[in-house]
Amino acid sequence: MWPAVLMAVLVVALAFFAMGASRTVIVGCGEDLDAVVNADPAATATRFQLSGCTYHVDNTVQPEDGDEIAGPVGTFIMRGPAYDPEPLATIQGSATLGQVMKPRGTFHGDWLQIFGGDFDGTAGSGVGLAGGDMDSDSVIYATQVANNEGAGVSNFHGLFWRSELTNNTTNPDALGFIGSGLKAVDEVWVGESYVHDTQGNGIWCDEECNDQPLSNGKFTVWYSLIANNGRDGVRWEKVGDEATHGEALVYLNEIHGNGVYERRAGVGVRDAQDITIRDNNFGSATIADVYYGLNGYAWSATDSGRTDRPNLYNVDVSYNANNGDAEKGCQEPASIVVCN
């Protein structure tokens, strides 16, 4: 399964890279980035090329369908299977900016740092990258999304690839609301990424995680290092029957040290169905000379019993290495949770 999924992801990503914008606009240091991007004609696919400096924005940056925003090519630090990017261009939101960037349609961002979403208690605030208007063929590559008060990325669509999420949900009022590194309500891909040290969940899909036109037809998290998040490393919540809602595949990841602030799991399944958790390494580990401790649980599969939420069902947990982590859910009947 792994080669087929990898090939599908690479085909989508490389096809997008090959599209290219119809023109390039150089945005120099000191220019007003949000003014330049937001004034650009919506019907023109533009590549905004940034320099290696910090762009302070006091209005949400809103690229349109087909646009790209790119910084200079930086370097990667390898952390096990994950690529930890070191971008040179930073987009920094002002102290009261609720959303730093909000793309529309098909969007490509690469070699960026996106910082500073301010959470004011309302839905969608405190966000670095607001992805609700993005199409599912969008790609975020070699980008660090950090230091946002709510979610690093909210309502994402597309592929989050070889990128980093860290130090998000810095406002505790966002916990249980949007608090996460990346949150989605539709199927997305997260691959070869470093997701760590966020106070909420690392990666979270809920509210049915609805089907999207992705090549493998699943919410997929693969070949990533997911570590030291305050709640679940990956959370799959409130997702009903696969005939009408999403499915999930979490595999070939390094998942360690999650549940820092309350006992949660490397992969947490709550009131949800149709997820495969396979070939992951849990427990403690040292990766790239960094030690990561145990998760609260390697994985957990639980049902609240609430009638307004889906029943726990069709959870397949196979061929993982727990490395000292406990697990929660194998007591369920095999029709609900399969443990191998």
Count the domains in the chain: 1
Please say if the pLDDT value at position 234 is more than 90: yes
Please say if the pLDDT value at position 19 is more than 90: no
Confirm if 292 and 255 have CB atoms less than 8 A apart.
no
State which residues form the domain around 26.
2-339
The Cα–Cα gap between 257 and 266 comes to 8
Mean pLDDT (the chain, rounded): 94
Q: How confident is the model at residue 282 (pLDDT cuts 50, 70, 90)?
A: very high
Please say if the pLDDT value at position 1 is more than 60: no
Q: Max CA-CA distance within the chain?
A: 61
Strand 75-79 to 82-86 pairing: antiparallel
The CA-atom distances, in angstroms, between 126 and each of 48, 148, 159, 265 are 24, 6, 21, 25
Query: Is the model more confident about 242 or about 97?
Result: 97
The whole-number pLDDT of residue 337 equals: 98
The CA-atom distances, in angstroms, between 34 and each of 55, 100, 180 are 9, 9, 25
Give which of 91, 185, 99 is closest to 143, Cα–Cα. Answer: 91
Please say if the pLDDT value at position 148 is more than 60: yes
Question: The domain spanning residue 28 has which CATH number?
Answer: 2.160.20
Please say if the pLDDT value at position 252 is more than 80: yes
Give me the mean pLDDT over the 251-269 stretch: 97
Q: What is the pLDDT of residues 154-210, one digit of tens each?
A: 999 999 999 999 999 999 999 999 999 999 999 999 999 999 999 999 999 999 999
The whole-number pLDDT of residue 242 equals: 77
pTM for the model stands at 0.95
